[in-house]
Amino acid sequence: MPEDLSPEDQLCLLLARGRFSPAIAKRAVDRLEAGPNWDLVLQRLQAHGLIPLFYHRLQTLDFPGVPQPVREQLRRTFRNNAIWNVLLTQELVRLLTRLGAAGVPVIPLKGIALAESLYGDSALRTCIDLDILIHPRYAAESLRVLHASGYAHRCGTPAFFHRLVRHGKDCELRREDAHMVYPLEVHFGLIWGGPVERRLVADIWSNAVPRPFHGAPACALCPEWEFLHLAEHAARHRLSPLKWIVDLDWLLVRGALDWKNAHEKARRMGWERIVQFSLAACAVLFETPVPEPFAGMPRPSALRILGSGPGSLEFPREALFNLLLLPTLRQKLQFIAVRLFVPSPEDCELLPLPCALFFLYYFMRPWRLAGTLAKWLIQAGVARLRRLRTSKRSNVNSRG
**pLDDT at site 105:** 96
Return all residues near 63 (Cβ < 8 A) that are at least 6 apart. 71
Q: What is the mean pLDDT of residues 204-211?
A: 94
DSSP codes joined into one string, 8-42: HHHHHHHHH-S---HHHHHHHHHHHHT---HHHHH
Q: What is the mean pLDDT of residues 154-162?
A: 61
For 44-77, the pLDDT digits (tens) are 999 999 999 999 999 999 999 999 999 999 999 9
For 351-395, the pLDDT digits (tens) are 777 777 777 878 888 888 888 778 878 877 887 888 788 777 766
Closest CA to 219 of 141, 86, 117: 117
Stronger pLDDT, 185 or 179, i.e. the higher one: 185
For 270-306, the pLDDT digits (tens) are 888 889 889 988 988 999 988 888 887 666 666 555 6
The domain segmentation of the chain, as residue ranges, is 102-221, 230-327
Cα gap 133→136, rounded to integer Å = 9
Q: What is the pTM of this model?
A: 0.85
**pLDDT at site 21:** 92
Q: What is the number of residues in the chain? A: 400
Confidence band for 158, pLDDT divided at 50, 70 and 90: low
The torsion angles phi and psi of 171, rounded to 5 degrees, stand at -140, 125
**pLDDT at site 186:** 92
Closest CA to 44 of 288, 246, 282: 246
Confidence band for 313, pLDDT divided at 50, 70 and 90: very low
Residue 314 has pLDDT above 50, yes or no: no
C-alpha dihedral sign at 366, 372, 373, 374: positive
Give the DSSP letter of residue 213: B
Cα gap 108→135, rounded to integer Å = 12
**pLDDT at site 161:** 66
Q: What is the mean pLDDT of residues 239-244?
A: 86
The torsion angles phi and psi of 106, rounded to 5 degrees, stand at -135, 140
Residue 222 bridge partners (DSSP)? none
**pLDDT at site 343:** 78
Confidence band for 307, pLDDT divided at 50, 70 and 90: low
Cα gap 132→185, rounded to integer Å = 7
For 98-139, the pLDDT digits (tens) are 999 999 999 999 889 999 999 999 999 999 999 999 998 898
Mean pLDDT, rounded, of the chain: 85
Out of 197-211, 221-235, 318-332, least confident range: 318-332
